[in-house]
Amino acid sequence: MALNYTDILSRQPELSYVPPQNFYMIMEKLPQVVFNVQQVVIPPVNGGEASLDNRYNSTRTYIPGDGLDYGTLSCTFLIDKEFRTYRTILEWIKAINAPETSQQYADWVDSHTQFAEQTEGFATSMSTVTIIGSDSANRPLVHWTFKNAFPISVDGPSYDATQQDIEYLTSTVDFRFHYFEHQTYDNGVLQNDKL
């Protein structure tokens, strides 16, 4: 098929882009807290590959593999004046690792399962995490839903009184998860395009 430049131009998407602000993070087991995201790195997805080795294939041809590897979800969020955003993540990560007492885990599970579907085993320490991106009018444009997520690290706030401009306190949290889904919106209406 020959390339047709006019056809290529007609398929080009509208040249209007997502603003780099108005991103939010919510969690199924922490519905009382909304995180204002300052930076987010949607993790890379790496597909598997298998080498197609045989004596007639000296060029090492590859074929698709049978699995996906997901990177780590990393989000930097604003810390509110009551430190609720930071404290909820810190409490969660301490509870699932129980550094002081084994009761920390049981207490956290008991206090947070009321907000989510009943789960068993490891899933009691995990939650669905959703990142929502919106336009300048705060209409949703896109969201990612991370299934069975749990925090693996959280940065403490960094104070610097020598800064000339006001810099609001932030913290960065990293999550592991099983997989994620991606969906878009058209004029604030969720599309049937789950991926």
For the segment 58-82, what is each residue's pLDDT rounded down to a tens digit?
677 788 877 888 999 999 999 999 9
CA distance 124 to 116: 10
Closest CA to 159 of 92, 89, 86, 73: 86
Structure tokens at 52: 């197609």
Per-residue confidence (pLDDT) for residue 74, from 0 to 100: 96
Closest CA to 61 of 69, 70, 53: 53
Other Cβ atoms closer than 10 A to 123: 15
Class of domain 19-190: mainly beta
Output the pTM of the full model. Answer: 0.81
In this model, does residue 115 exceed pLDDT 70?
A: no
Distant-in-sequence, close-in-space partners of 93: CB < 8 Å, separation ≥ 6: 151, 152, 153, 154
Which residue pairs from 46-55 have beta carbons closer than 8 angstroms and sit at least 24 positions apart in sequence? 46/70, 46/71
Q: How many CA atoms does the CB half-sphere of 20 hold within 13 Å?
A: 4
- pLDDT tens digits, residue range 82-103? 999 999 999 999 988 877 887 8
Q: Among residues of the chain, what percentage have pLDDT more than 90?
A: 37
Structure tokens at 150: 């749990």
Mean pLDDT of the chain: 83
Give the rounded distance of the alpha carbon of 136 from its chain centre. Answer: 21
